[in-house]
Amino acid sequence: MTTTQEAGGGTTAPAGPAFTPVTGRLRATPIDPVDEIAVISETEVVVRKTVRDDDPYLEGHYPEFTVYPGAFIIESVFDAVLRLVRAHRGERTFVEPAEISSVRFTTALRPGDTLQVRCVCQPGHDDAGNDTVRVVAHCTNGEAKAALVKMAFRVLPAEEPTGSGAA
């Protein structure tokens, strides 16, 4: 039986894929780009983010018609790919955006909506032989399509631990 874990440590009813809160961010961002994550396979990951009306990033973003910024959808795609790569290559591995080949926003996300991002990832190599991941991210709000994002990321090898005591 699989349960869903949410930020704050509580659990809810049995669910499909196991979602766990994302912790241990390496860099500061204006928001937490995902609330829940499920690594489905070596090539697929799903993340969720609930748009909250009290989050400071929404203040002033179209005050009469508050919408979730498209750049934050792309940030959620990045975070999903980072978590997928780390799940299979180790927590010290990192990815960096190499290319955004296509972005299409189709539905505005508003406070109370839940963004779900399903990333299908294809590992490969760029012309220089670097490891890459090509991603097609299907972003939805319930049944409504919110965005389609196509990106590529460079996979950066895990850093060696510092302070190993070597002279």
Residues identified as active-site: 61
| SS3 category, 29 | coil
Q: Is 115 helix (H, G, I), strand (E, B) or coil?
A: strand
Handedness of CA 108, 113, 117, 118 (dihedral sign): negative
Nearest-angstrom CA–CA distance, 32 and 23 = 10
Query: What is the Cα–Cα distance from 88 to 91, expressed in whole angstroms?
Result: 9
Could you tell me the CA-to-CA distances from 20 to 42, 46, 48 in Å, in that order? Answer: 17, 11, 10
The distance of Cα 52 from the centroid of its chain, to the nearest Å, equals 17
